[in-house]
Chains A and B, each alone.
Chain A
Amino acid sequence: MKKIWVVLLMTGMLISPAWGADTIKIAITGPFTGGSAPMGASMRDGAMLAVTEINAAGGVDVNGRKMPFEVIERDDEAKNERGALIGQELASMTDLSGVIGSVNTGVVLAGDKYLQEKGITKIITPAAGSASMTQWSKAGVPELSIFRFAADDGIQSAMVVEDAIKRHFTKVAIFHDSTNYGVSGRDDLMNQIKKQGNKLQVVATEKFNIGDKDMTAQLLRAKAGGAQAILIWGIGPEMAAVSNGMAKIGMKVPLIGGWTLCMSNYIDNAGKNGDGTLMPQTFIEDPITPKAKAFIEAYHKAYHVTRIPSPVSAAQGYDAVYIFAAAVKQAKSTDTHKVKAALEDLREPVKGVIATWNHPYSKWNPADEQTHEAFRRAQVVMGVIKDGRVEFANESDRKQFIENAAK
């Protein structure tokens, strides 16, 4: 029995690299099944949309030759162990040009070290947890092949706290789920409150588990403390249970939180109780530019939906592929090390659906992880939920976005 497996294992290894030679091989990884799948699958679908477009046009011009993308997908199930094994698998592929994906910070922490070891280029999207990048600045690595294409929690939490202060709140409650993302979001919020002058008093810090439906106890604690707003960090529909619970106990304060609040599993499930919820956004499913309109329509058509489960993930996946393609073109090579060098110094602007990306990354500096972060404060706006749709919270931001795209 044992031997059969060894034989299968070996054939497996022999088969995997046996691809055609004229393609740009990339891997898309993320949770495509299980609780985090709405983000993972939207990211993948957005990315595949870009791949299809590029391939339909003949592929990327690599040193005078048109080469299409070839994609392998790996479902990490949001499990660290799978993340590590997938990291090892991808790291052992000799002709892989790069990797795009990852939703869960834990998976990133478990798997990226194998890619970095081999210098394989990866663009993380949409995982936003701070630790994904700070692990490298803390370790002080001189060269880094990992890039991020997501508004990191540092930016997001700063905006959330800013917004709460701007609205003259003094007492807030922090709610977060018990995942890595939720807990590190809590820490980021606490840090930002301190950083912005301790203007907010945290009256309750409450946790909830994935799958929890009854938030009454936590909400009553927030209410008893006199919270004027709830700052929330979580990954799933449990946040809708918070909104619905507030309505039940007659607590009328706004919910302000991470970008995940824009996902349909929050908006739909919170229904009218979700109105007025605020969160930082990098993309809003609103056809403000022709490019955005085309993207949204193409997505709806390709995947037979009327709304993208997680528009931010989809748009980021889409833009990440275009940025990667631009790097391949500039590198004139599919070699992952050369692609990495090109990404660090992308000369031509890339027209994306979120914005036009001018020199998104620069040479890695261990003292400043911003060098490998694409998103700046300017590319992120506050969104607000109105009648089941995410809209710009401030009209000025809308104009700013149209400008970003036009640049």
Chain B
Amino acid sequence: MKRLLLIHGAEVIALLLLSAIPLVVNNAYALGLLTLLAIYGILLIGLDVTVGYLGQINLAQAAFLGLGAYASGLSVSLLGFGMISALAMSLLVGLVFGGLLAFPALRLEGPQFALATLSFSALSETILNEWEGLTGGAQGLQISRPALWGHPVTAQGFYWLCILFLVIVWLAMRNLLSSQWGRAFEALRDSPIATDAMGIGTYRHKIAAFALGSALGGLAGGLYAFNFQYLQPQSFVYELMVILLLGVVLGGRKSLWGALVGASLIALLPNLLSNRLLFQIISILGFGIVLISGGRGLIQKTVRPFQAIAPMISMGLLVVGAALVTNTEDWRKAIFALMLFSVVVGLPEGLMGFAARFLSRIFHVPPAPLPSPASLDAALPAKSADNVPLLVLKDLKRHFGGVHAVDGISITVHSGRIHGLIGPNGSGKSTAVNVISGLYTPTSGSILLHGKPLPGNMFRVARVGISRTFQNLQLFTELSAIDNVMAAMKGVYHSPLPMVLLGLARREERRAQSDALALLELVGLQRQARVCAKDLTYGAQRFLEIARALARKPELLILDEPAAGLAYPDVSNLIKIIWDIHQRGITIILIEHHMDVISELCDVVTVLDGGRVIAEGSAEDVKRDPGVIEAYLGTANKITAAGVQELSANPG
């Protein structure tokens, strides 16, 4: 209750404050700045979807602002649209172009994604510039603000309209980003491979995130057009984009408040810095803050020396500069740069990230309470173990150039069993698993599940009931343990997007939470449900991956070296967990080097070497197989008990 009161209280106060300013201060300039703030707020909330949640450098948001602005402007001047329909048009243009651009950008990440979006911006600027017949080209487009349902809109009224849109966007995005959609976006950022392997789907979410963020860019563009009433293509170029990017990061990623704070920084700061006295006050205040906080950090050794000292130097320069330089207008960019530098270095998680930590410490904001865990039967329905062939590999091959990683293996996995897959390093176990789970397409051969061929794509394989863990952990590192499990949860989320936006999908959210808690309980992590995945111990991370894989309610679970790197007590926990899963009738393929784990759990073991099957049988049988011992020890001479010992002790 206290939590809701604080969070919503802050929102309501900010809203009232923002709406009331024009009533108190009758000043066109203040109104202009605040209107720009509201517009940038919407724009940055949209940009945050790709930058914060998808974790990509998106350099196209300025272009969407421009496209939206021209869409509104032209639909008013050419088609005679009213205010609302013109804005809807802008939103639509952003949505459609955003979706289109997402297609070629789908496979791209990092610098490549940045470049694709940058090229799109340049291209749209060229088109706006060259299509003079429509856009007026470089000479610009003059627009008059249309009436709103027949009423002319004053500057003040328009400001309130912008605030209204900001509130709507704020609420809708809060609902969306705290739903499965938000988790999916973050999952995509942290591990695209696991996103597909957990049946969440990278493509649909990448397109959705991009289209959505762009649509908000378009909407902001429409408002921008009616605010400034004069458009030129050159306003929406790279330079603006960089400023927007700075705004998002400075404000704090993955935060609506962050977007708003970022918007106020970039809308107000460059304009306020023109005032010399104000600039001097800000620089002295800033210097004081970095001196105190940096000094404290240095003494308590909570920050790196650079992180404390660099902001001091840069703010110090600012204070000295403020005293020496008479014409601050000439140095405005440098001043802006020095301030930004201090913030980015000193507060890497952005102003709001810092403020959120600080405020929650002051007010002791507890996290939202969790529901009680569901029964395991609801979260992971038991299956009957009928011991019929479930997964059949027939002469499966996968070659990488000249390397025959998997070279014609045939294995049958029976339902309800724990099927061990062992072999020395480089024997093709992991490749085989990657082929089964759809990461690699087979060079030849076939994989049948229930007698039907598997689709050759990770996402679809996940959807037909095969779930897996990874040898190298592929957790959604920035999500909490429970969110990791919820992100993969199958059969819970049914609400369509509009319902989610309206906040009408909370019930299934609760359901997913209690199911996820049940699974966390199964692997012994129920107490760490709120802990961020990257902060868990290594062993806990391994268990979390298993819980996440179980959220798919799989028919077949593939565990890729789950014991690798585990300490002894964790290994026995692991054995117990796998046994519990087995008890629920789930078929398991277990890849392991720990022979004791294999011996204790597996009904049948297949041994690979050089991409081929060299033995199959019970754990005891294969241990004694001369071919297996040779594969591990490189010689058949010492067919002794010692050799077997060696084999069981060999973990890597």
A-side interface residues toward B, CB under 8 Å?
A: 1-3, 5-6, 8-13, 15-16, 32-33, 73-75, 79-82, 84-85, 88-89, 91-92, 106, 109-110, 113-114, 118, 131, 135, 178-180, 182-184, 187
B446 interface residue (CB < 8 Å to A): no
Which of B31, B142, B232, B257 counts the most chain A CB atoms within 10 A? B232
**A92 pairs with B330, CB closer than 8 A:** no
Determine whether the beta carbon of B140 is less than 8 Å from that of A178.
Answer: no
Size band of the B side of the interface? 35 or more
A180–B268 alpha-carbon span in the complex (Å): 27
> B572 in the interface, Cβ–Cβ < 8 Å?
no
Among B70-78, B273-281, B386-394, B463-471, the one that faces the other chain is: B273-281
B274 engages A75 (CB within 8 Å): yes
Least Cβ–Cβ distance between A227 and chain B, in angstroms = 22
Task: State how many angstroms separate the Cβ of B298 from the closest Cβ of chain A.
Answer: 24
CB distance from A248 to the nearest CB of B (A): 26
Chain B residues within 8 Å of A109, by CB: 140, 142, 230
Bound together, the chains give a CA A391 to CA B261 distance in angstroms of: 55
Determine whether B365 belongs to the interface, using a CB cutoff of 8 Å to chain A: no
- Chain B residues at the A interface, C-beta cutoff of 8 Å: 14, 17, 21, 25, 27-33, 36, 129, 132, 137-140, 142, 228-230, 232, 234-235, 257, 260-261, 264, 268, 270-272, 274-275, 277-278, 281-282, 327, 329-330, 332-333, 351-352, 355
Report the separation of the CA atoms of residues A135 and B139 in the bound assembly, to the nearest whole angstrom: 12
21 interchain pairs, CB-CB under 8 A: A1-B352, A2-B264, A5-B268, A13-B27, A13-B30, A33-B330, A33-B333, A73-B274, A73-B327, A75-B330, A79-B235, A84-B32, A89-B29, A91-B28, A106-B140, A106-B232, A118-B28, A135-B142, A178-B138, A179-B138, A187-B139
Q: Which partner residue on chain B sits nearest A110 by CB separation?
A: B230
Given the known interface contacts A135-B142, A179-B138, the answer about A80 and B235 at a Cβ–Cβ threshold of 8 Å is yes
Q: Chain A contacts of B332 at CB under 8 A?
A: 33, 75
Q: What B residues does A110 contact at CB under 8 A?
A: 228, 230
Chain B: which residue is nearest A72 at the CB level? B274
Question: Chain A CB within 10 Å — which of B29, B33, B351 has the most?
Answer: B29
A10 to B281, CA, bound (A): 14
Shortest CB-to-CB span from B268 to chain A, Å, is: 6
B232 partner, pick from A15, A180, A182, beta carbons under 8 A: A180
Cβ–Cβ contact A2 & B260, under 8 A: yes
Q: Is the CB of A179 within 8 A of B272?
A: no
With most chain A CB atoms within 10 A of its CB, the pick from B21, B138, B327 is B138
Q: Which residue of B lies closest to A48 (CB)?
A: B327
Does B17 lie within 8 Å of A81, measured CB to CB? Answer: no
Q: Which residues of A contact B132 (CB under 8 A)?
A: 183
Tell whether, in the assembled complex, residue A88 and residue B32 are in contact, meaning their CB atoms are under 8 Å apart.
yes
The answer to whether B274 and A183 have CB atoms under 8 Å apart is no
A15 pairs with B275, CB closer than 8 A: yes
Query: Shortest distance in angstroms between B97's beta carbon and chain A's nearest beta carbon?
Result: 22
Q: State how many angstroms separate the Cβ of B333 from the closest Cβ of chain A.
A: 6
**B292: min CB distance to chain A, Å:** 16
Residues of B within 8 A of A73 (CB): 274, 327, 329
Q: A15-B277, A178-B129 are in contact. Are A183 and B271 (CB under 8 A)?
A: no
- Given the known interface contacts A109-B140, A178-B129, the answer about A9 and B17 at a Cβ–Cβ threshold of 8 Å is no
In the assembled complex, the Cα of A33 lies from the Cα of B351 at a distance in Å of: 28
Q: Are A85 and B282 in contact (CB under 8 A)?
A: no
CB-based contact B29/A180 at 8 Å: no
Which B residues are CB-close (under 8 A) to A84? Answer: 32, 228, 230
